[in-house]
């Protein structure tokens, strides 16, 4: 099996190196029967993100969509065209544990999943109120069978992706849209808390209605 990890990036110079280093470690844990590659899709970057990615030696594409759905789709289709049969998505402000890919492969072996929806853990609560932390913990279902959807931790087969039409050109919730189309076609989805990533708690969201905006709203409510 050929795995491709696809990462959209827009001005992520502060976080992209750590993200890619964690992915490299996860790749190294895979058995020799698997091959894995990394593709960063840089969208309208104006900082040093490109230079940092070039220094790692990983593959990359550049585009100017300013639309995360289009960026993800560009990267996924490029990876499929180069032989990828399993696609794993994460974000440039996230890091993955060393067993991230191994856990995915175990689910494929056990459940024959067409898609895996993983969970996220917050990397730093220090700048957020205790009320926000408690509200988040109360809301979040960190368990097998959860129903959370994160573009930062979503993986799927190439065949199912192409059959559903792929990520739509949406500036937000492109991940929810894709999962809903997998559901509509009755593909097998594994909702796993064994597959997790550590994600940024920054409140300056790249997507206006994304995860950062969700945290910012919790913080706003906690002080109101």
pLDDT at residue 222 is higher than 80: no
Kindly tell me the burial class for residue 114, based on how many C-beta atoms sit within 10 Å of its own C-beta (0-12, 13-18, 19 or more).
Answer: buried
Q: What is the pLDDT of residue 66?
A: 95
pLDDT at residue 224 is higher than 60: no
Q: How many domains does the chain have?
A: 1
Helix, strand or coil for residue 55? helix
SS3 of 80-101: HHCCCCEEEECCCCEECCCCHH
Mean pLDDT to the nearest integer, 113-139 = 79
| Ordered alpha helix ranges (H), 38-173 | 49-56, 68-81, 100-111, 130-139, 158-164
Q: How far is CA 196 from the centre of its chain?
A: 10
| Number of neighbours of residue 170 by Cβ within 10 angstroms | 18
Mean pLDDT to the nearest integer, 19-36 = 97
Mean pLDDT to the nearest integer, 173-191 = 97
Mean pLDDT to the nearest integer, 141-167 = 97
Residues 45-99: tens digit of each pLDDT: 999 999 999 999 999 999 999 999 999 999 999 999 999 999 999 999 999 999 9
- CA distances from residue 179 to 81, 139, 158, 176 in whole angstroms, order as listed: 22, 20, 14, 5
CATH number, position 194: 3.90.550.10
Say which residue, 152 or 124, is predicted with more confidence: 152
Residues 188-219: tens digit of each pLDDT: 999 999 999 998 755 465 666 566 565 556 45
Helix, strand or coil for residue 173? coil
Mean pLDDT to the nearest integer, 175-180 = 98
pLDDT at residue 134 is higher than 70: yes
Q: What is the pLDDT of residue 73?
A: 98
Enumerate residues 6+ apart whose C-beta is below 8 A from 160.
Answer: 114, 115, 182, 185, 187
Report the b/e string of 11-45 with b at 16+ CB within 10 A: bbbebbbebbebbbbbbeebeeeeebbbbbbbbeb
Report the DSSP pairing between strands 86-89 and 154-157. antiparallel
Q: Among residues of the chain, what percentage have pLDDT more than 70?
A: 87
Q: How confident is the model at residue 221 (pLDDT cuts 50, 70, 90)?
A: low
The whole-model pTM stands at: 0.89
Q: Which residue has the tokens 């999962």?
A: 179
Q: What is the pLDDT of residue 126?
A: 53
Domain hosting residue 138, numbered range: 2-222
Q: What is the pLDDT of residue 130?
A: 75
């Amino acid at each position: 099996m050929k795995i491709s990890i696809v990462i959209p990036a827009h001005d992520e110079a502060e976080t992209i190196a750590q993200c890619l280093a964690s992915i490299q470690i996860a790749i190294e844990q895979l058995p020799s029967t698997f091959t894995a590659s990394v593709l960063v899709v840089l969208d309208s970057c104006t900082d040093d993100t490109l230079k940092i990615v070039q220094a790692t030696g990983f593959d990359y594409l550049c585009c100017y969509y300013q639309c995360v759905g289009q960026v993800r789709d560009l990267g996924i289709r490029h990876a499929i065209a180069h032989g990828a049969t399993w696609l794993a998505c994460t974000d440039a402000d996230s890091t993955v544990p060393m067993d991230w890919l191994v856990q995915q492969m175990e689910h494929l072996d056990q459940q024959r999943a067409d898609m895996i929806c993983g969970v996220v853990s917050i990397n730093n609560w220090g700048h957020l109120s205790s009320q926000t932390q408690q509200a988040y913990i109360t809301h979040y279902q960190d368990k097998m069978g959860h129903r959370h959807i994160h573009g930062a931790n979503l993986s799927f087969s190439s065949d199912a992706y192409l059959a559903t039409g792929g990520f739509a050109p949406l500036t937000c919730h492109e991940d929810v849209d894709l999962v809903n189309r997998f559901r509509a076609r009755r593909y097998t989805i594994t909702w796993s808390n064994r597959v997790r990533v550590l994600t940024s708690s920054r409140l300056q969201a790249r997507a206006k209605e994304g995860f950062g905006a969700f945290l910012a709203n919790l913080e706003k409510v906690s002080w109101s």
